[in-house]
């Protein structure tokens, strides 16, 4: 995906907020690109533009043939339907694509992957925050999308749970790779998950640094000297 000269501004109370001004970024197909930057710098706006939830003022987003079509979204909140079970929440996004039995089996297989098979009949409010976010991960992966957009999905969770979910996410992603844009303000999370990490500036958002990480995601450790060096660079 090639993002070229993207500009977006908002008007609020007689003042114009320039979020993006001729922003450029290349996202390699079937990789995870992490966008790390301060709060309010425009990361979510970029995600919404890529997800076609909003239109840019100018500029283009050119997707490859493998990236065109449906998009899975993982939000800061799980956004589950509170009235229905875990299974229904995952199965619902498969309705246009599969017959009943097939979609239930498919949904169950993703629920098993996030280790919630025993909770499939429970409703979201009967689960903990971490479990709910795992359901949202299962739903995002179950949806037959060409791209995934993640907007700080583990932000509200405690650190041990966060690492567990990061591992769950990577495990699922490795099974079916899709171009993924991942917004976070947590450098460590980005270094464990991404193929390329982009450090962003304040508004209007610009790239301060871009680093590719070749190491297999499953083998990465935060005590690795390369990752320690990158942490220092990004926190600096």
Partner 1 sequence: MSRSTWTTKLTVVISLIILLAIWQVGSYLLDARVILPTVGDTLASLLNLLKFKPLSVNILATVNRSLQSFLIIFTIGTVLGLAAGYSKTFHAFLKPILVVCKATPVMAVILLAFIWFTSNTVPLFSAFLMGFPIMFVQVEQGVQQISSQLDEMSQLYSFSKPTRLKFLIIPSLMPSIITGAKASLSMVWKVVIAAEVLTVPRYGVGSRMQLAQVSLETAEVLAWTLIAIILTALGDLLFSLIIVLPKKFNQRFKI
How near is the Cβ of 216 to partner 1 at its closest, in Å? Answer: 31
For partner 1, the closer CB: 123 or 167? 123
Minimal CA–CA distance to 235: which of 202, 181, 199?
199
How near is the Cβ of 2 to partner 1 at its closest, in Å? Answer: 23
Question: Does 118 sit near partner 1 (CB under 8 A)?
Answer: no
Instruction: In whole angstroms, give the CA distance from residue 216 to residue 219.
Output: 5
For partner 1, the closer CB: 73 or 110? 73
DSSP letters for 11-33? EETTEEEEEEEEEEEE--TTSEE
How near is the Cβ of 205 to partner 1 at its closest, in Å? Answer: 22
Query: Which residues, at least 6 apart from 181, have a Cβ–Cβ distance to it below 8 Å?
Result: 27, 33, 35, 46, 47, 50, 147, 148, 149, 150
Question: Does 95 sit near partner 1 (CB under 8 A)?
Answer: yes
How near is the Cβ of 181 to partner 1 at its closest, in Å? Answer: 14
Question: Does 98 sit near partner 1 (CB under 8 A)?
Answer: no
SS (H, E, C) 138-203: HHHHHCCCCEEEEECCCCCCCHHHHHHHHHHHHHHHHHCCCEEEEEECCHHHHHHHCCEEEEECCC
Question: Does 154 sit near partner 1 (CB under 8 A)?
Answer: no
Site for partner 1 in 160-199 (CB under 8 A): none
Q: Of these, 5, 24, 53, 117, which contacts partner 1 (CB under 8 A)? A: 53
How near is the Cβ of 81 to partner 1 at its closest, in Å? Answer: 6
Question: Does 236 sit near partner 1 (CB under 8 A)?
Answer: no
**Mask for 75-94, x = binds partner 1 (CB under 8 A):** x-x-x-x-xx---x---xx-
3-class DSSP state of 51:
coil
For partner 1, the closer CB: 96 or 225? 96
Residues in contact with partner 1, total (CB under 8 A)? 20
For partner 1, the closer CB: 31 or 88? 88
How near is the Cβ of 232 to partner 1 at its closest, in Å? Answer: 37
Question: Does 70 sit near partner 1 (CB under 8 A)?
Answer: yes
Hey, CA dihedral for 200, 52, 178, 127, is it positive or negative? positive
Q: What's the order of all strands across the beta sheet hosting 58-62?
A: 15-26, 2-12, 58-62
Backbone angles phi, psi at 223, to 5 degrees: -90, 0
Query: Which residues, at least 6 apart from 58, have a Cβ–Cβ distance to it below 8 Å?
Result: 5, 6, 7
Residues that bind partner 1 (CB under 8 A): 51, 53, 70-73, 75, 77, 79, 81, 83-84, 88, 92-93, 95-96, 121, 139, 143
């Amino acid at each position: 995906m090639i993002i070229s000269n993207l500009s977006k501004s908002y008007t609020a109370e007689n003042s114009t907020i320039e979020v993006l001004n001729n922003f450029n970024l290349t996202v390699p197909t079937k990789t995870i690109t992490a966008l790390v930057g301060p709060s309010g710098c425009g990361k979510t706006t970029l995600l919404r533009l890529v997800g076609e939830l909003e239109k840019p003022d100018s500029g283009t987003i050119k997707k490859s043939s493998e990236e065109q079509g449906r998009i899975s979204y993982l939000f800061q909140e799980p956004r589950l339907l509170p009235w229905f079970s875990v299974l229904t929440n995952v199965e619902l996004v498969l309705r246009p694509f599969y017959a009943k039995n097939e979609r239930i089996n498919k949904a169950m297989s993703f629920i098993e992957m996030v280790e919630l098979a025993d909770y499939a009949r429970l409703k979201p409010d009967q689960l903990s925050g971490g479990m709910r976010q795992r359901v949202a991960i299962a739903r995002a992966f179950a949806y037959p999308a060409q791209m995934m957009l993640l907007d700080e999905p583990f932000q509200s969770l405690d650190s041990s749970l966060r690492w567990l979910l990061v591992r769950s996410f990577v495990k699922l992603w490795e099974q079916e790779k899709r171009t993924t844009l991942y917004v976070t303000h947590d450098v460590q999370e980005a270094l464990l998950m991404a193929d390329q990490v982009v450090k962003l500036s304040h508004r209007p958002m610009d790239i301060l640094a871009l680093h590719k990480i070749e190491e297999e995601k499953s083998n990465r450790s935060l005590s690795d000297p390369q990752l320690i060096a990158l942490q220092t660079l990004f926190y600096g």
